[in-house]
């Protein structure tokens, strides 16, 4: 591990508890600051007018749906930051790259790299000079084709996507890769909501949520498990505010006290702003231990079961929806037997909630007639993430809360088109039905062997089994676990290709050869032969709609992602069988092909052009369960298999006192993109290298508040994984649980510590110990304060 002198003692850094409601004037001020920073005050206002409007572009911020009948601005503080950072007028020239080696750039912070502006010309890595140099598009595609065609097996290439790629780009990309001959599609979902997709596919037959925004108008209660809408889905706060104002119950289950879940002031509701009032969001806030949800949810089931027995004994009606269960479900009795056999003591030990609180939580669920369950990364990013989602589904099925108005499952997705990417077939485990359909429409023979997900791709690159890595967006090196191992894996490749809008850390880690290809962003006009083109996206609630940028592209050398994929395909495979570039002339042609492959996209063009687009119905809402037996499934695993798995057994043999670390997002970041160094709602300013701890834990430790520590993770492979220079911040978090920001902490996540089903890295339950550390010289934002350090 390389040891740097790190910023940390930033004179502007401070901790100052935030006393306001989330949203409000603070949010508006922050928008203004970010627009100014990117020199787009004028342009920014124009851009923002178009966000999430029927005729504008889809906000790249998150996948929360737009309110259909709203004429107001449909954006939020963090969406505005995302737009500002993309629509920036700053850009990187070829001269800039001539002046800086990658080694020099690697010393800079992630914030600094991002803030340099947009990529403006295709670049190729010159290893002799350690610099990126300009390359023509044609030469770039020839280089890719040469490398791909030289592989002795198509499975020696892997094709990553980050969830911003449009439906059209995703569809063409998967078609190319399958024609080339592999299903190696690592995807950001593999680090995000894959647990949801895997669990819901098995439980209800389709791995997507079942609710629409309208359901929030009818729900009696909304449960929010493990996500932080104040920062990550601010537009959702407006939905929650409505629920709260009409008397609906909102229940948060989250180890951390998150400001956005407590109170919200809507920057778009003028009265609240003028009178400085706010709406309480969560009426009830439960704080389990990190990773305690499995025990919490199982405990809720156990309460229901006991109340059910009591009710039946007293001659009252069942607590469960027995009719729904009998008609639509399988596995209820065996699930209940396992719940019954789980002792209360075990449940209470692992949940971290007091018995009274757990009972109160179960009672809130029992008392609501129409319930929505929302969840995010606090549920999925565990070794038992998939099992967590199964228990959420079990609770809902047991009370018949799926398939009726005002109720259902609501996984809150991250990237604005991450759900659409999957729908379009970017999937390492494609269904036979889909591949058959693809083969029929295009007269091809797609590969049938399963492909590699993220963690498997990293291992394969490290072992030399995968030699070409292609990334359609994203920041693979920084977003992935086990940072040093991942960086080495990328360096073992013959060719690494990144398609991106902005410079990031992944671009500084090259294989023997590397290409950095700049593409158009969401906000920009995409001009093709038939005129300006729109792309389509699918939000977290399965609404499909168009998005078209209105800004002039920042450089004449940018291509759309679709064009890049088509040209790469033509260079690699020729155009005899599929005329790739014909599809680029008008994206309607791609949508027509999509309509042929997927029956639910019938009449795609006709249905997607009207404002608001169309909704993809979840079959569960028609009581259709696309599982093998055509019934919804109750699936459960014994608690011991969760809390006494191999990793925890190893931990138990270790004598040291450890904490369980969750790695989370600050308010000023979008995944690996760092907009600024503040986390306003958590009261952290001018710094990111902090670790949140319970005050009593601090007192019981060898350290004090404000002291610098190094964090080491404990894992059974006994590799030493340490990140340095974190400042202790006292926070409202349960004892034994600690929190710090991602991606700085990704070096602590062992590659093989992941959910066995969805393979999501367990980045919300990392066992760690603390060592005394030190602060180092402050180097400003150009320094490596917030950088992910790589060997
Ligand atoms: N501004 C902004 N918006 C974003 C993003 C961003 O980085 N910035 N990222 C986008 C993406 S890709 C995604 S996936 C989403 C992510 O949105 P979230 O799902 O909100 O992601 P995290 O910030 O990782 O926070 C997870 C929350 O889970 C809680 N948590 C942690 N561990 C546990 C646990 O064991 N149990 C429970 N119950 N809770 C726990 C944390 O306290 C935190 O409040 O947001 C999307 N939107
Ligand atoms: N420890 C830890 N690790 C995590 C997480 C965590 O909570 N904790 N969260 C995980 C989650 S939920 C996710 S989704 C992943 C995120 O992983 P990624 O999706 O790989 O990462 P991002 O930071 O969203 O990618 C940002 C980059 O995308 C590029 N980009 C932006 N817009 C566009 C575009 O329109 N086109 C193209 N081609 N490129 C574009 C820019 O160059 C930008 O630098 O990280 C995961 N990693
Ligand atoms: Mo995500």
Q: What is the largest CA-CA distance in the chain?
A: 82
Q: What CA–CA distance (Å, rounded) separates 635 from 388? A: 10
Q: Please report, to the nearest 10 degrees, the dihedral formed by the alpha carbons of residues 387, 393, 397, 398 taken in order.
A: 50
- Contact between 455 and 476 (Cβ < 8 Å): no
The 221-225 sheet, strands edge to edge:
284-286, 249-253, 221-225, 371-375, 408-411
Q: What CA–CA distance (Å, rounded) separates 185 from 395? A: 32
Q: What CA–CA distance (Å, rounded) separates 518 from 453? A: 25
Per residue in 690-722, pLDDT (tens digit) is 999 999 999 999 999 999 999 999 999 999 999
Q: Which residue in this structure is represented by tokens 């709203």?
A: 70
User: Could you tell me whether strands 659-664 and 766-772 are parallel, antiparallel, or unpaired per DSSP bridges?
Assistant: antiparallel
| pLDDT surpassing 50 at residue 6 | no
Give pLDDT, residue 279: 75
Residue 458 has which token pair?
């990293």
| C-alpha 513 chain-centroid distance | 29
Atom of ligand 1 nearest to the CA of 667: 1
Q: Looking at residues 88-113, what average pLDDT do you find? A: 92
Per residue in 341-357, pLDDT (tens digit) is 999 999 999 999 999 99
Q: Which residues have C-beta within 8 Å of that of residue 436, sequence separation ≥ 6?
A: none
Per residue in 158-215, pLDDT (tens digit) is 999 999 999 999 999 999 999 999 999 999 999 999 999 999 999 999 999 999 999 9
Q: Which residues have C-beta within 8 Å of that of residue 93, sequence separation ≥ 6?
A: 120, 121
Q: How confident is the model at residue 8 (pLDDT cuts 50, 70, 90)?
A: very low
Tell me which residue of 728, 768, 729 sits closest to 745, measured CA to CA. Answer: 768
* Residue 225, ligand 1, Cβ within 6 A: yes
- Contact between 785 and 16 (Cβ < 8 Å): no
Tell me which residue of 457, 377, 328, 384 sits closest to 193, measured CA to CA. Answer: 377
Residue 270: which H helix or E strand, with range?
helix 270-275
- Contact between 180 and 573 (Cβ < 8 Å): yes
The 3-state secondary structure of 178-207, one letter per residue: HHHCCCCCCEHHHHCCHHHHHHHHHHHCCC
Integer angstrom CA distances of residue 126 from 93, 134, 177, 553, 743: 16, 10, 27, 27, 28
Atom of ligand 1 nearest to the CA of 765: 35
| C-alpha 615 chain-centroid distance | 22
Give pLDDT, residue 16: 78
- Contact between 237 and 209 (Cβ < 8 Å): no
Q: Which residues have C-beta within 8 Å of that of residue 83, sequence separation ≥ 6?
A: 44, 47, 48, 51, 59, 60, 61, 75, 523
Residue 504 has which token pair?
């990031």
Q: Which residues have C-beta within 8 Å of that of residue 452, sequence separation ≥ 6?
A: 158, 184, 185, 186, 428, 460, 466
Give pLDDT, residue 389: 98
Residues of the chain by 3-state class (helix, strand, coil), percent to 5:
40, 20, 45
| pLDDT surpassing 70 at residue 48 | no
Which of 274-288, 384-398, 400-414 comes out lowest in average pLDDT? 274-288
Q: Looking at residues 381-398, what average pLDDT do you find? A: 98
Per residue in 26-45, pLDDT (tens digit) is 666 676 666 666 665 545 44
Atom of ligand 1 nearest to the CA of 81: 1
Which of 3-12, 450-459, 696-705 comes out lowest in average pLDDT? 3-12
Atom of ligand 2 nearest to the CA of 499: 38
The 3-state secondary structure of 407-467, one letter per residue: CEEEECCCCCCHHHHHHCCCCCCCCHHHHHHHHHHHCCCCCCCCCCCHHHHHHHHHHCCCC
Share of the chain above pLDDT 90, in %: 76
Write the residue with the smallest CA distance to atom 38 of ligand 2. Answer: 473
Question: 39 C-alpha to center of ligand 3: Å?
Answer: 28
Say which DSSP state 726 is in.
E
| C-alpha 665 chain-centroid distance | 11
* Residue 764, ligand 1, Cβ within 6 A: yes
Give pLDDT, residue 5: 33
Write the residue with the smallest CA distance to atom 16 of ligand 1. Answer: 414
Question: 226 C-alpha to center of ligand 1: Å?
Answer: 7
Question: 593 C-alpha to center of ligand 1: Å?
Answer: 35
Q: What CA–CA distance (Å, rounded) separates 288 from 607? A: 45
- Contact between 660 and 738 (Cβ < 8 Å): yes
* Residue 662, ligand 1, Cβ within 6 A: yes
CB-side exposure of 490: number of CA atoms within 13 Å?
Answer: 28
| pLDDT surpassing 80 at residue 67 | no
Say which DSSP state 788 is in.
P
- Contact between 283 and 245 (Cβ < 8 Å): no
Considering only residues 72 and 555, tell me which one the structure prediction assigns the higher pLDDT.
555
Q: What CA–CA distance (Å, rounded) separates 31 from 193? A: 28
Give pLDDT, residue 692: 98
Write the residue with the smallest CA distance to atom 47 of ligand 1. Answer: 232
Domains in the chain and their CATH numbers? Answer: 91-190+417-597 (3.40.50.740), 194-415 (3.40.228.10), 640-772 (2.40.40.20)
Tell me which residue of 364, 368, 395, 390 sits closest to 379, measured CA to CA. Answer: 390
Give pLDDT, residue 3: 33
Which residue pairs from 127-135 have beta carbons closer than 8 angstroms and sit at least 24 positions apart in sequence?
Answer: 127/510, 127/512, 127/513, 129/101, 130/101, 130/102, 130/103, 131/97, 131/98, 131/100, 131/101, 131/102, 132/97, 132/102, 132/516, 133/94, 133/97, 133/98, 134/94, 134/97, 135/515
Ligand lying nearest the CA atom of residue 669: 1
| C-alpha 35 chain-centroid distance | 25
Atom of ligand 2 nearest to the CA of 471: 38
User: Could you tell me whether strands 249-253 and 221-225 are parallel, antiparallel, or unpaired per DSSP bridges?
Assistant: parallel
| pLDDT surpassing 70 at residue 129 | yes
Write the residue with the smallest CA distance to atom 33 of ligand 1. Answer: 378
Per residue in 251-290, pLDDT (tens digit) is 999 999 988 787 766 666 666 666 667 777 778 899 999 9
Angle between helix axes 137-150 and 561-573 (nearest 10 degrees) is 50
* DSSP per residue, 611-625: TT-EE---GGGGT--
């Amino acid at each position: 591990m390389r040891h740097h002198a790190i910023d940390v003692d930033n004179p502007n850094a401070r901790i100052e508890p935030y006393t306001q409601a989330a949203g409000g004037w603070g949010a508006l001020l922050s928008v203004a600051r970010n627009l100014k920073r990117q020199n787009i005050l004028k342009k920014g206002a124009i851009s923002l007018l178009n966000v999430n409007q029927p005729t504008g572009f889809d906000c790249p911020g998150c996948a929360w749906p737009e309110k259909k009948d709203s004429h107001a601005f449909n954006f939020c503080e963090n969406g505005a930051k995302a737009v500002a950072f993309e629509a920036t007028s700053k850009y990187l020239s070829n001269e800039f790259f001539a002046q800086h080696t990658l080694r020099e750039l690697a010393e800079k912070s992630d914030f600094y790299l991002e803030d340099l502006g947009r990529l403006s010309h295709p670049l190729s890595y010159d290893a002799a000079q350690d610099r990126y140099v300009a390359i023509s598009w044609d030469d770039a595609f020839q280089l890719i084709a040469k490398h791909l065609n030289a592989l002795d097996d198509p499975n020696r290439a892997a094709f990553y996507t980050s969830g911003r790629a449009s439906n059209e780009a995703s569809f063409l990309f998967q078609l190319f890769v399958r024609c080339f001959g592999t299903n190696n599609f690592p995807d950001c979902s593999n680090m995000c909501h894959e647990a949801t997709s895997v669990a819901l596919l098995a439980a209800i037959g389709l791995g997507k949520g079942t609710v629409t925004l309208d359901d929030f108008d009818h729900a009696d209660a909304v449960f929010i498990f493990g996500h932080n809408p104040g920062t990550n889905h601010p537009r959702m706060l407006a939905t929650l505010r409505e629920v709260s104002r009409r008397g609906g119950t909102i229940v948060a289950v989250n180890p951390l006290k998150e400001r956005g879940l407590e109170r919200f002031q809507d920057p778009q509701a003028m009265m609240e702003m003028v009178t400085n009032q706010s709406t309480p969001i969560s009426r009830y806030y439960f704080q389990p231990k990190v990773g305690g949800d499995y025990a919490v949810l199982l405990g809720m089931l156990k309460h229901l079961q006991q109340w059910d027995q009591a009710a039946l004994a007293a001659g009252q009606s069942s607590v469960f929806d027995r009719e729904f269960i009998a008609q639509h479900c399988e596995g209820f009795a065996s699930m209940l037997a396992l719940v019954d056999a789980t002792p209360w003591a075990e449940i209470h030990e692992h949940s971290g909630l007091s018995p009274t609180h757990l009972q109160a939580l179960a009672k809130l669920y029992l008392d609501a007639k129409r319930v929505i369950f929302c969840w995010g990364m606090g549920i999925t990013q565990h070794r038992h993430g998939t099992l967590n989602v199964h228990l959420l589904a079990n609770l809902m099925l047991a009370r018949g809360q799926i398939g009726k108005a005002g109720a259902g499952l609501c996984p809150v997705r991250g990237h604005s088109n991450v759900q659409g990417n999957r729908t379009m077939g970017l999937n390492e485990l494609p269904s036979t039905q889909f591949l058959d359909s693809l083969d029929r429409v295009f007269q091809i023979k797609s590969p049938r062997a399963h492909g590699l997900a993220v963690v498997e791709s990293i291992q394969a690159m490290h072992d030399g089994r995968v030699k070409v890595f292609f990334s359609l967006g994203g920041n693979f090196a920084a977003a992935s676990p086990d940072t040093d191992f991942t960086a080495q894996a990328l360096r073992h490749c013959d060719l690494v290709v990144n398609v991106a809008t902005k410079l990031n850390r992944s671009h500084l880690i090259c294989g023997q050869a590397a290409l950095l290809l700049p593409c158009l962003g969401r906000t920009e006009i995409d001009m093709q032969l038939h005129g300006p083109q729109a792309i389509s996206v699918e939000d977290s609630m399965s609404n499909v709609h168009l998005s078209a940028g209105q800004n002039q592209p920042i450089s004449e050398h940018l291509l759309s992602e679709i064009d890049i994929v088509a040209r790469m395909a033509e260079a690699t495979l020729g155009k005899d069988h599929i005329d790739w570039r014909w599809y680029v002339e008008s994206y309607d042609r791609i949508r027509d092909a999509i309509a042929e492959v997927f029956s639910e996209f019938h009449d795609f063009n006709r249905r997607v052009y009207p404002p608001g687009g169309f909704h993809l119905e979840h079959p569960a809402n028609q009581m259709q369960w696309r599982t093998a037996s055509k019934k919804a499934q109750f699936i459960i695993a014994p608690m011991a298999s969760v809390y006494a798995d191999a990793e925890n057994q190893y931990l138990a043999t270790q004598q040291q006192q450890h904490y369980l670390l969750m790695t989370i997002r600050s308010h000023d970041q979008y995944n690996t993109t760092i907009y600024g160094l503040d986390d306003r709602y958590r009261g952290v300013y001018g710094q990111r290298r902090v670790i949140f701890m319970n005050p009593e834990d601090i007192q019981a430790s060898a350290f004090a508040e404000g002291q610098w520590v190094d964090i080491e993770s404990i894992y059974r492979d006994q590799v030493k994984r340490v990140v340095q220079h974190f400042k202790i911040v006292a926070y409202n978090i349960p004892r034994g649980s600690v929190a710090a920001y991602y991606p700085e902490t990704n070096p602590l996540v062992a590659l093989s510590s992941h959910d066995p089903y969805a393979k999501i890295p367990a980045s919300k339950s990392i066992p760690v110990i603390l060592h005394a550390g030190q602060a180092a010289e402050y180097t400003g934002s150009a320094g490596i304060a917030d950088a992910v350090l790589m060997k």
